[in-house]
Structure 1
Amino acid sequence: MPIVAGRRFRHTDDRAAPDVAIVSATMARRFFGGESAIGRGVRVLDRAGRERQATVVGVVGDVKVQTMGEPPRPVLYLPFGQWYRADMVLHVRTDGRTPDVGRDVVRAMRSIEPDLAVDVQSMTHATAFSLIPLQVAATVLGFAGAVGLTLAILGVFGLVAYAVSLRTREIGSRMALGAQQTALARFIAWEGLRPVAIGLGAGLPAAVGAASLLRGILIGVGPADPVVLAFVATTLLASAGAAMLAPVRRAVSVDPATVLRQE
């Protein structure tokens, strides 16, 4: 957790030292307003029900406590050396290159207390249940997005191919009169991109409004995130451009003499 103000706990924060505490940024704002929380006192009940006064020595950033979609909540942190608990959770961070780190943790704990009950879980396993709703929602929305993109590509391809088939004589006449292939390609491409551009202009604001209803599963991303909107627009335009390649190539490869003879 990043330190916003003050300091972290030290090994000297034990029972011989004055009681100290660290608060989350949300707790500091809620209980101390615009003033600094460092040096302020908080009253805490210990396990025996006695009230103790702890001095705030640090402020840390907000973290998720139960679910990924929850709003920031006030959190109070107390040092183990002053506030002993028989049940606790130790978070062990590794470099990922130790496959049996769980076994090593159990061995280290049992070397201290052979009869100690130890339950080792990976962070992936510990958070799996809380992530199920997000994973299901992401899968459903991803599938719907893939279907929508596929339909858009097929629609653009069909639109441009149909337009080329209807205007084959016009294209042949333009080429017979000296029109350049690049100019014709741009003209035909714009015919296909124009409805896509109109759809983006109308769809992006609607998407921002709809995304505001999904704040619970948009973790770390706002409904109007410019990077996401730019990625969506770029992906759709690139997909539409790829869908038009075959019809455009067919149009610019028309033989003017053959077309005019057929007509």
Structure 2
Amino acid sequence: MLLLPALAFAHGISDEDKRRMLEGSYLQYVGLGASHMLTGYDHLLFLFGVVFFLTTFKDVAKFVTVFTVGHCITLIFATYFKITWNYYLVDAVIALSVIYKGFDNNGGFQKYFGMASPNLLWAVFGFGLLHGFGLSTRLQQLPLGDDPVAMLWRILSFNVGVELGQIAALAVMVAMLAAWRARASFARFAYAANLALIYAGVYLLFTQLHGYQHDSAPDSIRFPVEEHRHLHEDMDIRNSVDTDRNQL
């Protein structure tokens, strides 16, 4: 249970970051965007699934570009026009995209539904829109200001940081996968690796739903660890009282 708070908000915006942004420059938004992406387990796992079987630079560039265009659209427009939703639920849906990619990589549509996989390019674009909305729900918790021009520059700066973080993460992923493909173990363990991706997505899904269930303040930044602990303590007390009553 101790891992749930850490994973649920591994790429959250801390109170310290919020205070720093009050008087921060655009470069600070760039840095925050980069660190947000590099610690965003759900985004990174989905990207890992996307590039897992891509062997050429052209294919990697094509799919990553489509994903980037998708998440840029919703990140910028949803933030600028203040369109938001409960971020636990958004991240829960994003976790489904991780499950989807692992399932697709393992030929799930062919095995279980007897059909070809949906068009991957459009799927990646659609999930890009979803991931961008998830990023937007976090960014909207920062003090972006009331000046529409300055707010737009802050959004764009954060977005630039996200792209830089994504490029850095992808460089490592693609290099590791290229080296692994040269080994016989890739063919043997590719299925297991994508099965692990599905399990990771399921874990992230239940983590976010768990956070949503125990969060009484959905606009707060951090996972309410103390509230979570007290809720379980109260449950234990109630269960103990009920047991004593039954014994009487």
TM-score strictly above 0.5: no
Which protein has greater RCO, CA pairs closer than 8 Å, 6+ apart?
2
Whose helix fraction is larger, Structure 1's or Structure 2's?
A: 2
Q: Judging by fraction of residues, say which structure has more strand.
A: 1
TM-score, length basis structure 2: 0.31
